[in-house]
Amino acid sequence: MIRELENPSYVVDPSIYHRFDERNTVFSRVEGDPNASFYEKFVYDNSATVVNEGAPSYSRRDFARIMASWTVYKELQGSWDRFQGFPWSPLGGPDPVMEACGKHAVTDQAEMSQEIKDTAVMFGADLVGIARLDPRWIYSHDSQGDPIGIPEHCTHSIVMAVRMETRQIMQSPGFPSAVATGVGYSRMAHAISCLAQFIRSLGYDAIPMGNDTALSIPLAIDAGLGSFGRNGLLITPKYGSSVRLCKVFTDLPLEADRPIDFGVMETCSHCGNCASTCPVGAISHKSAPSFRVKSISNNPGIKRWTIDPEKCYSFWVTNGACCSNCIAACPYTPRTG
């Protein structure tokens, strides 16, 4: 049973919470934090050793698929970090209709919002929601240490979820599950790049992003896509946490969706499958969420189950690729599809 809420289900303590610095993410700390136990230890450092051991689901071909799965993401990622380009034509030069007709007039925000959702699905999104942009979720600084400021006229966040292939996720922590992750990132890079260009061709600003610039999970909760889970991920009603998230900030006049509740907090409080299946004990077994954090890579001030990201990432390095055990074990994750 899914019900709409007036306000998001998460709890924030304003006396503790502050905008998160992207330099504190695990992936930034790999290269930027000499005090981290995983400093200069990269995900694929151990991959050759793992491949040579010859275990099932860890073959040379499996690893080659991981490398291939990231291709589109790698090619597009440089164009989406807070990029605001003038609309262009694929034949070269500027968008001719935009030049001749100017900004597209939006007289019905609800109708425009549905157009955005339909278009996002055309470009590869499986779920789409819209929220008023909450500035609390914007990173204070990017991974290079530069302050992040989003133009005040960009008032809405369009959040998209791209599902990952269940058959591959269920083979975690083997390499096929990491292929599903890479394909998810490549699909989300394509979706946000294309959706942002659609918005610009209507005469409005669009700032596409993946994991950079702002926190994806609370933005997705605001946009009505799901709820916080014990595994530290967004859980959606249709795909569980077997999704990758991306978003576009814009000044296009839109109608916001409402956050939802479908019993995730209650389920997670007594389930614990993800915690039991984590190979390094990075997920809490406690019955109730709290404001406790385990690392500077957890942002304080949000009531939730926090994972230990240092343990999690360190296992990825040992494994030779990322792990999705917590996604595979979640009862909300579809068993087929």
Q: What is the pLDDT of residues 164-213, one digit of tens each?
A: 999 999 999 999 999 999 999 999 999 999 999 999 999 999 999 999 99
In this predicted structure, the answer to whether residue 91 has a pLDDT above a threshold of 80 is no
**Residue 330 corresponds to which tokens in the numbers above?**
């979640």
Give the integer Cα–Cα distance in Å for 287 and 290. Answer: 10
Q: Which residue has the tokens 């990231």?
A: 70
Give the integer Cα–Cα distance in Å for 163 and 290. Answer: 29
Give the integer Cα–Cα distance in Å for 189 and 73. Answer: 5
- With contact defined as beta carbons under 8 Å apart, do 122 and 208 qualify? no
Give the integer Cα–Cα distance in Å for 308 and 14. Answer: 23
Residue-range domain boundaries for the chain: 3-329
Backbone angles phi, psi at 209, to 5 degrees: -160, 150
- Residues, the chain: 337
Give the integer Cα–Cα distance in Å for 159 and 256. Answer: 11
Residue ranges in 70-209 assigned as alpha helix (H): 71-76, 96-101, 109-122, 166-169, 175-201
Tens digits of residue pLDDT in 300-324: 999 999 999 999 999 999 999 999 9
| Side-chain half-sphere CA neighbours of 34 within 13 A | 0
Question: pTM for the full model?
Answer: 0.95
Tens digits of residue pLDDT in 33-58: 999 999 999 999 999 999 999 999 99
